[in-house]
Amino acid sequence: MKRLMCSLTLALVAGLAGANDGKAIYDANCAACHQPDGAGALGLAPPLAGTLGKRMAFAEGRKYLPGIVIAGLAGKMESKGVIYEGLMPSWQQLSDGELAAVLNHVLSTFNAPDLPADFQAIAADELAAARAKKPTAKELRAWRAASQ
């Protein structure tokens, strides 16, 4: 019995760690459109590499990333001089912890050189706030414009 409890605990811990593994979540849910290296794909999805770090210096940018993964966004978006027009799905089915993990993966892996020196990892609470008061597409676009 003791042994069973022990392996159950181990399985639980492994499950939790797995659930918040930002790279695994990215590869499973985001890479098909944004590409495994975050370079984006013409006509499909904008890059997530080298385009998001500076936004973290702005309060609007900090609201923008949790907001877009919770609410999704469709329409025209200009990135690095290219116009993308596609659908960013909502990822509401993922937990706050999973979404924080995937955003932190995107920021620390693909945007590290541009992060502000005092950058603090995105917290699950910030996802919870976006979920509680889902931003409109208009708000998301305004936050994006204000954080560059």
* Cβ at position 58, least distance to ligand HEC in Å: 13
For residues 138 and 75, give the distance between their C-alpha atoms in angstroms, rounded to a whole number: 11
* Cβ at position 50, least distance to ligand HEC in Å: 10
Cβ closest to ligand HEC, residue 8 vs residue 82: 82
The tokens describing 90, both together, are 């909502």
Task: Say if residue 140 is exposed, middle or buried (CB neighbours under 10 Å; 0-12, 13-18, 19+).
Answer: buried
* Cβ at position 76, least distance to ligand HEC in Å: 6
Given a contact cutoff of 8 angstroms between Cβ atoms, the answer to whether 38 and 49 are in contact is yes
Which stretch, 8-16, 64-72, 109-117, 120-128, contacts ligand HEC (CB under 6 A)?
Answer: 64-72
Contacts (CB under 6 A) with ligand HEC, residues 66-125 = 68-69, 73-77, 79, 84-89, 91, 102, 106
| Number of CB atoms found within 10 A of residue 127's CB | 26
| Number of CB atoms found within 10 A of residue 6's CB | 10
Instruction: Give 74's contacts (C-beta < 8 A, 6+ positions apart).
Output: 86, 87, 88, 137
* Cβ at position 133, least distance to ligand HEC in Å: 19
Contacts (CB under 6 A) with ligand HEC, residues 19-58 = 29-30, 32-34, 45-46, 48, 51
Which residues contact ligand HEC (rule: CB under 6 A)?
A: 29-30, 32-34, 45-46, 48, 51, 65, 68-69, 73-77, 79, 84-89, 91, 102, 106, 144
